[in-house]
Amino acid sequence: MKNWWNEKDIRPIWLKANLAFWFFLFFIFLSACAEDRIETLFKEADEEWIKGHNHGAIEILKTVLEERPKGPQAEEALFRLGEITYFSIGNSSQALIYFKELLKVAKHGKFAYAAQKYISEIVEFSLKDYDQSIIEYQKLIDNFNVVEENGDHQFRIASIYYKKHEYEQSLVELEILLEKYRESKRVEESFFKMTEILYALNRCPEAKEKYGIFVEQFPKSPFLSEMDFVMASCKEDEGKLKKAYAAFKSLVGRYPYASILNMKLKGIETRLKKSGNVASNLTRRGNR
């Protein structure tokens, strides 16, 4: 009886399938070996960094980049290169290059947000390019929207405008923080900064308004003594010297800058003497 299949016909098919299977296993083996090598290189780079051999760590990470120019390993290598160059070598410009390259490789990858934070920090504090740093902090808000940290980034933007002496714009940015990020830990400090800026702009009525809201919302704030100092300064500028003196005196032991407070008190005492008031009586009342 003739077989319904021919053994000679099926053998080549079986051999091909068998070879494909072994090639597949060999490929998996090679891939695993390659992954193990990359992990070993990362560990070696860490060990070199811990030992203080920064340039050795950098060379190892560059080897990782040569073998893995794209993908998660490339992202991690670029991030580590940026950190070592920034923190251990102090080369902010080169670190900036690594972090920017990381964002090109993976705009929304695992390390992208942290890299953008470093970029913002480097541009502001190392390069002192304030206009660009505002853009970089805004990217943190717009491109990543890490809600719990957006208030911090908004506060940095307001602070940079203050550094640039653009006080009106700084106020605008602080108002945005108070409106959009009410849960931020920066809210109390933002109230203080707004009050301080308004005083500097000779806008005491507005400063008092902010102070009233602040006291109602944060009666035990660590910024309260500094806010009280601003309010006392408003009284002084308005010519209410006795009230200003009493307000400054109440800050003794609370205000963090004792030397400045003493200068204020002595200055008002001198002005009161010239105007015919008895400063010594004020001093005795304040010491009770």
Model pLDDT, residue 28:
42
pLDDT band at 275 (very low <50, low <70, confident <90, very high): confident
Q: Are 282 and 269 in contact (CB under 8 A)?
A: yes
pLDDT tens column, 68-112: 999 999 999 999 999 999 999 999 999 999 999 999 999 999 999
Do residues 231 and 208 touch, judged by C-beta distance below 8 A? yes
Mean pLDDT across the stretch 229-246?
97
pLDDT band, residue 4 (cuts 50/70/90): very low
Window from 21-30, 114-123, 199-208 with minimum mean pLDDT: 21-30
Contact in structure between 237 and 253 (CB atoms under 8 Å): no
pTM of the predicted protein model: 0.82
**C-alpha separations of 147 from 25, 51, 142, 154 in Å:** 46, 37, 11, 11
CA–CA distance, 123 with 135 (Å, rounded to integer): 10
> Span 57-66, mean pLDDT?
96
Give me the pLDDT at residue 219, please: 96
Which position has the higher pLDDT, 275 or 143?
143
Which of 251, 193, 249, 192 is CA-nearest to residue 223?
A: 192
Averaged pLDDT for residues 263-276: 93
Question: Which tokens belong to 216?
Answer: 């109602």
pLDDT band at 7 (very low <50, low <70, confident <90, very high): low
Distance of CA 198 to the CA centre of its chain: 25
Residue among 161, 147, 146, 154 at smallest CA distance from 178: 154
If phi > 0 it is left, if psi is from -120 to 50 it is alpha, else beta; for residue 258 that is alpha
State residue 36's pLDDT score: 82
